[in-house]
Homo-oligomer: A and B are copies of this chain.
């Protein structure tokens, strides 16, 4: 039998209303001694209000939904931790959902989050443009939401993302500055927005340097090691001197392929990645990459979400764009050809 506000009230010889006031610090008008008496009894029983019952009235659950593709993707743990920490500092809990980018699961989780009455949702969806599940969901509901990582430029939604085009530009430019001309590129899956943007940056940088786009050395990857590995095998055959992979994981695959084909990084092949995931320093030589602080992204997402939750509905949606950072390490070097 858990103890309720009624029990406290009875023991303190007051009404439950009074106890409730004390609990919620609406106690300016309560006599000091009764207040103290109640507080003592609360402490004595280690009484904790039932949040479910509270939620019935307040319509708030102090819970956020966090929907991501897969926590096993090394990009996400840091991000999740950023979300968790900032949420908890603000007295919110987080329900975690992995969708694997599956549209059915996305829709299912969105509905579930609504049923569970989360106060807001942080959503990293897998596909370009407003995904179908999201679109339908938004039409039917009006839950505060922040889009994460995957940008939604044309929508009026709050979002936190990296300037991917700029990042792609920076990475490519770095290789060009090292005198590379035949720069292979391993993109993300075709339908993913951030991959398109990174590619656009790649294209810009090449154009600026008067290097024509060579479709032969552009491979579509999968954001996994395996895809990087396979693509690298192809690219190395085409004699590229440098490879820009659209995430670090694929760069790991490139390392493997290079080792198997007897190419030395960076002497025979320069490699630049994207993400700066935590275990990059395992790679020898250390991977040059583009950093996007995912912990901070998580924090920022919660910040925006709480603004929405606490603010007025008319409030302008906000967007935070995180600046990418070029982390020059040991996997890129001057082209000697």
Contacts and interface: CB of A to CB of B under 8 A. Distances in A.
Interface of A: 46, 48-53, 55-56, 61, 63, 70-72, 74, 76-78, 80-81, 84-85, 88, 93-98, 111-112, 114-117, 140, 225, 252, 255-256, 259, 278-279, 281-284
Nearest to A91: B112
Given A78-B72, A279-B74, A95 B63 contact: yes
6 contacts: A52-B56, A52-B116, A71-B80, A72-B78, A72-B81, A93-B116
Task: Tell me which of A63, A77, A95, A114 has the highest count of chain B C-beta atoms within 10 A of its own C-beta.
Answer: A77
B96 A96 contact: yes
B93 A95 contact: yes
A72 B77 contact: yes
A280 to B, nearest CB: 9
A2 to B, nearest CB: 8
A74 to B, nearest CB: 7
Please list the 3 inter-chain residue pairs (A to B) with the smallest Cβ-Cβ separation, ordered nearest first. A71-B77, A96-B96, A48-B115
Given A279-B279, A283-B282, A80 B96 contact: yes
Contacts of A50: 115, 117
Contacts of A72: 77-78, 81, 278
A296 to B, nearest CB: 14
Contact of A98 (B53, B81, B116, B256): B81
Nearest to A55: B52
Contacts of A115: 48-51
A93 B282 CA distance: 34
A97 B87 CA distance: 11
A53 B278 CA distance: 43
A115 B23 CA distance: 14
A63 B51 CA distance: 14
Nearest to A65: B93
A53 B76 CA distance: 33
A282 B77 contact: no
A81 B70 contact: yes
A265 B252 CA distance: 20
Nearest to A140: B46
Nearest to A111: B48
B84 A252 contact: no
Contact of A95 (B48, B76, B95, B256): B95
A84 B61 contact: no
Given A52-B56, A72-B77, A279-B282, 11 more contacts: A51-B115, A51-B116, A52-B117, A71-B80, A74-B77, A74-B279, A81-B98, A85-B98, A93-B112, A252-B279, A279-B279
- Chain B CB count within 10 A is highest, among A74, A85, A88, A116, for A116
A259 B225 CA distance: 24
